[in-house]
Amino acid sequence: MALQIVEFFGYTPLDPAASPYVAARTCPFTNQACIKPHHGSCSVRKSTGDPIICCPNRMYSQNYQILLDVAEAAFGSGVQLKRPSEITIARLTGTLTGNEVAVFGRYWGNELPLPRPPGNSGQSRQYYVDWILAKMTASGDVDQLTAVEVQTIDTTGNYRAQAQAFFQGQQFTDKRGRTPGWSNAGMNWENVNKRILPQIIYKGHVLRREVQCTKGLFFICPRQVYDQIFARLGGNLADYHLSSGTITFRSYELGPAPAAGQQRALNLYSQFTTTVDQVALAFTSPMNLPPANVYADAIKRAMGA
């Protein structure tokens, strides 16, 4: 395995424009404390292939443009993202227009938990959809709502030495003498199967029971995560229009290396809408299986037969 940091606190490593964010351990995309302050990496790359976004906050560039994109896809053009507190003030002052979308999520004032079925202890646990977007009427009622889940990819192994060199304002040289160097780390692709897919299936089923959630769940991820998901599910998912009970996958990728002092663009790569049932069936009954008797054949080869 080999891994190299592509973006360090939002910029090319050692770019002077990142210095204030590095010093304060602040994310340039949310203007909040970095959620990975010990290594500050927004995206990484393997020895082959394009940069891979590894921090979810990297997806919130251009003032949370991805959320506005979803709001316009679900509710129509001309909508405006607002904090719940702003909606409350506008309702009290009678200045709502019917174009406001209340945003519930981290950094926007409120997170809304989803209940989970009681566990063995008999106590109900909770976890969160990343974002709930609620379009309001001019009278202050909820007109429609949708949910957005944002996922990137975790890394395996350790690349702290690489980050520490950048914190010290130095280029990183690895044990093989390469500058810029590479760390012995990789990507945790298995997390797609173990955690990401089961969660979006569960959340999709919860949301389809919401009368006002007429456009389903939106799942936003880097292109490479999207590719892994569809490799796991196979290529036979049917395409649907936005409706209750759908999951819309939107994938993004980073633009080319920027000039000094600039950040890479975040570009929409693809969108695909299918149903929760399609995803659940493909997950539990995969069609992209290896040939029959692969283990028996492997044993025979190992035994020299």
**Boundaries of every domain in the chain:** 1-49+154-187, 64-152+189-305
pLDDT (0 to 100) of residue 212 = 96
pLDDT (0 to 100) of residue 124 = 52
Kindly report, residue by residue over 71-123, the tens digit of the pLDDT. Answer: 999 999 999 999 999 999 999 999 999 999 999 998 998 878 766 666 555 55
Instruction: Give the C-alpha separation, 230 to 204, whole Å.
Output: 17
Q: Which residues contact 53 (CB under 8 A, 6 or more apart)?
A: 42, 43, 59, 152, 153, 222, 252, 254
Round the average pLDDT of the chain to a whole number and report it: 91
Beta bridge partner(s), residue 252: 222, 268
DSSP string covering 185-249:
EEE-THHIIIIIHHHHHHHHHHHTT-TT--S-EEEEEEHHHHHHHHHHH-S-PPP--S-TTEEEE
Kindly report, residue by residue over 142-200, the tens digit of the pLDDT. Answer: 999 999 999 999 888 889 999 999 999 999 999 999 999 999 988 888 887 788 899 99
Residue 126 banded pLDDT, cuts 50, 70, 90: low
pLDDT over 90 (residue 234): no
- Are 94 and 140 spatial neighbours (Cβ–Cβ below 8 Å)? no
- Are 258 and 266 spatial neighbours (Cβ–Cβ below 8 Å)? no
In the chain, the percentage of residues whose pLDDT exceeds 90 is 74
Kindly report, residue by residue over 24-41, the tens digit of the pLDDT. Answer: 999 999 999 999 999 999
**Measured CA distances, 168 to 39, 76, 177, 280 (Å):** 12, 47, 19, 47
The whole-angstrom distance between residue 253's C-alpha and the CA centroid of its chain comes to 11
pLDDT (0 to 100) of residue 149 = 96
pLDDT over 80 (residue 206): yes
The pair of structure tokens assigned to 123 is 């106590």
DSSP string covering 34-70:
-SSTTT-EEEEEESSS--EE--GGGGGHHHHHHHHHH
State the number of CA atoms in the 13 A half-sphere of 176 facing the CB: 7
